[in-house]
């Protein structure tokens, strides 16, 4: 992810336009290849040496911001490890304790003071390592001393494609709201996109369109009172998932610059941005995974499974459950985990569920994702609040109270013609 100082964009007629690079441009590819080579050359070396080499490679010209952006993306793929035979904090503690008895300590031992090498030797004997190891490990946990680990470096083409997507992601961090239109595409790709939205816990509304597509409205990070930075990163992570869809367009309202002036950002599938996400695999919320494990430990016949269901809420929104609870006798109950939430937004959601939702839906709301200063919630829906893990016993109790059978009789599914359509 690119930080604000690495964002390269202009504002033209109220629209923010990132300076995308052409992945086939020879100058851009040469820069990417050189930086990738530097990371490979300094693999296993301290970060201070890597930074010195990167500064020389990036330079200070007009392309410096572009180069620093590529460096940031490469660093995101790497790790910087503390390499030490023991905890550096403990080594420093022992060194300072030993040196306190021989103050002042000098590098050479002149003027009848204890030399530094003697202190290193004493501590090395205590720890059963060599004095050189003590010397090297003393500050091994400092950022500049950490060792680079990059086992799988990308190609230049991949890095440039990733840079273009990262530019668009950095713009979305300034969004107050985002509108996405999905038109056409396979049902599988649309379900996968909704799954990603749920996975990133975004506050969103979905409406079926008369032409068969979907309008997705997502709250932006600058619309929140709390957790805006965390939410903004989640929103930015959603963009590569959108790129996996076939035919889409995006428009975002922004607060841009230090003065937070109103600006727009537009993007669509014709731009040619390439996602680094996989088109295969499933992405399950950790709360669902934990709940499955806890249900398995309870003496209950209820089990939890993934569900592809998309339920219509009176044409005003769609409900996309994260899982379905099943009982051996055929009863079922849907479970939806709410993402980031504000009181007013959650109350509107509860009102829609009361009026148009399936009677066998359980809504699980995380207290950790509350994005406003207010907490009191009104409304009667099968709802459970949790801090980190959903209470399995409470979910079973709610399922016993509201579950229905068979699945086809619960709520309205988006399966009919016109607005109501099943994906």
Residues 313 and 390 in one domain: yes
DSSP 195-264: HHHHHTT--EEEEE-TTS-EEEEEE-GGG-SSSHHHHHHHHHHHHHHHTTSSSEEEEEEEEETTTTEEEE
Q: pLDDT confidence of 315, banded at 50, 70, 90?
A: confident
Within a domain: residue 165?
no
Residues 261 and 290 in one domain: no
The answer on pLDDT for 312 being more than 90 is: no
Residues 261 and 295 in one domain: no
Residues 235 and 318 in one domain: no
Query: Which of 264, 280, 296 is the endpoint of a domain?
Result: 280
For residue 294, count CB atoms less than 10 angstroms from its CB and return exposed for 0-12, middle for 13-18, buried for 19 or more.
middle
Judge whether 72 and 4 are in contact, CB under 8 Å. Answer: no
- What is the pLDDT, as a whole number, of residue 112? 53
The answer on pLDDT for 407 being more than 50 is: no
- What is the pLDDT, as a whole number, of residue 421? 36
Domain count, the chain: 3
SS3 state of residue 280: coil
Question: Would you say the C-alpha torsion 227, 230, 236, 240 has a positive or negative sign?
Answer: negative
Residues 208 and 247 in one domain: yes
Average confidence (pLDDT) over 41-56: 94
Long-range contacts from 306-311, C-beta under 8 angstroms, 24+ separation:
306/282, 307/334, 308/191, 308/423, 309/334, 309/407, 309/413, 310/191, 310/194, 310/413, 310/414, 310/422, 310/423, 311/357, 311/358, 311/361, 311/411, 311/412, 311/413, 311/414
Q: Using a pLDDT cut of 70, give the percent of the chain over it.
A: 91
Residues 263 and 304 in one domain: no
Question: At residue 265, what are phi and psi to the nearest 5 degrees?
Answer: -135, 125
Question: How far is the C-alpha of 54 from the C-alpha of 271, rounded, in Å?
Answer: 31
Within a domain: residue 313?
yes
Within a domain: residue 67?
no
- What is the pLDDT, as a whole number, of residue 213? 87
Residues 295 and 395 in one domain: yes
Residues 359 and 318 in one domain: yes
Considering the entire predicted model, what is its pTM?
0.82
Which residue in this structure is represented by tokens 């990371």?
A: 39
The answer on pLDDT for 212 being more than 70 is: yes
Judge whether 248 and 209 are in contact, CB under 8 Å. Answer: no
**Residue 257 structural domain:** 173-280
Within a domain: residue 317?
yes
The answer on pLDDT for 281 being more than 70 is: no
- What is the pLDDT, as a whole number, of residue 422? 37
Q: What is the overall mean pLDDT for the chain?
A: 87
- What is the pLDDT, as a whole number, of residue 12? 95
Within a domain: residue 108?
yes
Within a domain: residue 196?
yes
Residues 254 and 352 in one domain: no
Residues 295 and 239 in one domain: no
Q: Using a pLDDT cut of 90, give the percent of the chain over it.
A: 61
Residues 271 and 296 in one domain: no
- What is the pLDDT, as a whole number, of residue 412? 43
Which is nearest to 248 in space by CA: 178, 338, 167?
178
Write the CATH number for 257: 3.30.70
Q: What is the pLDDT of residues 354-406, one digit of tens each?
A: 989 899 999 999 988 887 665 556 556 788 999 889 999 999 999 999 998 76
The answer on pLDDT for 162 being more than 90 is: yes
Within a domain: residue 362?
yes
Within a domain: residue 94?
yes
Residues 258 and 316 in one domain: no
Query: Which of 218, 253, 280 is the endpoint of a domain?
Result: 280
Judge whether 234 and 227 are in contact, CB under 8 Å. Answer: no
Average confidence (pLDDT) over 22-33: 95
Identify the residue with better confidence: 34 or 105: 34
Average confidence (pLDDT) over 307-325: 88
- What is the pLDDT, as a whole number, of residue 380? 65
């Amino acid at each position: 992810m690119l930080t604000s100082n690495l964002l390269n964009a202009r504002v033209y007629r109220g629209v923010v336009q990132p300076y995308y690079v052409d992945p086939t441009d020879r100058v851009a590819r040469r820069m990417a290849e050189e930086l990738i080579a530097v990371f490979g050359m300094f693999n296993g070396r301290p970060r201070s040496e890597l930074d010195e080499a990167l500064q020389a490679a990036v330079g200070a010209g007009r392309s410096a911001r572009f180069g620093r952006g590529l460096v940031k993306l490469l660093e995101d793929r790497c790790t910087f490890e503390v390499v030490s035979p023991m905890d550096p904090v403990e080594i420093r503690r022992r060194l300072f304790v030993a040196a306190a008895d021989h103050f002042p300590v000098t590098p050479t031992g002149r003027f009848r003071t204890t030399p530094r090498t003697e202190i290193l030797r004493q501590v090395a004997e205590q720890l059963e390592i060599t004095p050189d190891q003590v010397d090297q490990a003393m500050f091994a946990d400092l950022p500049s001393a950490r060792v680079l680990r990059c086992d799988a470096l990308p190609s230049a083409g991949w890095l440039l494609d990733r840079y273009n997507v990262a530019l668009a992601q950095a713009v979305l961090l300034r969004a107050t709201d985002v509108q996405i239109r999905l038109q056409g595409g396979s049902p599988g790709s649309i379900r996968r996109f909704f799954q990603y939205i749920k996975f990133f816990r975004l506050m969103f509304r979905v409406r079926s369109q008369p032409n068969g597509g979907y309008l997705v409205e997502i709250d932006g990070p600058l619309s929140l009172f709390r957790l805006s930075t965390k939410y903004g990163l989640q929103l930015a992570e959603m963009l590569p998932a959108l790129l996996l869809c076939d035919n889409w367009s995006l428009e975002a309202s922004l607060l841009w610059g230090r003065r937070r002036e109103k600006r727009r950002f537009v993007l669509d599938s014709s731009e040619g941005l390439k996602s680094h996400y996989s088109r295969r695999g499933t992405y399950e919320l950790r709360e669902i995974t934990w709940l499955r494990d806890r249900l398995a430990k309870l003496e209950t016949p209820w089990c939890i499974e993934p569900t592809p269901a998309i339920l219509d809420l009176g044409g005003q929104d769609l409900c996309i459950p994260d899982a379905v609870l099943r009982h051996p006798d055929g009863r079922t109950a849907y479970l939806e985990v709410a993402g980031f939430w504000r009181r007013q937004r959650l109350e509107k959601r509860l009102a829609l569920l009361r009026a148009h939702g399936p009677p066998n839906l359980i809504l699980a709301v995380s207290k950790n994702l509350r994005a406003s200063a207010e907490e009191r919630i009104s409304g009667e829906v099968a709802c459970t609040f949790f801090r980190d893990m959903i209470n399995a016993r409470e979910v079973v109790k709610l399922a016993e109270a509201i579950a229905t059978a068979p699945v086809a009789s619960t709520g309205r599914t988006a399966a009919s013609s016109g607005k109501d359509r099943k994906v």
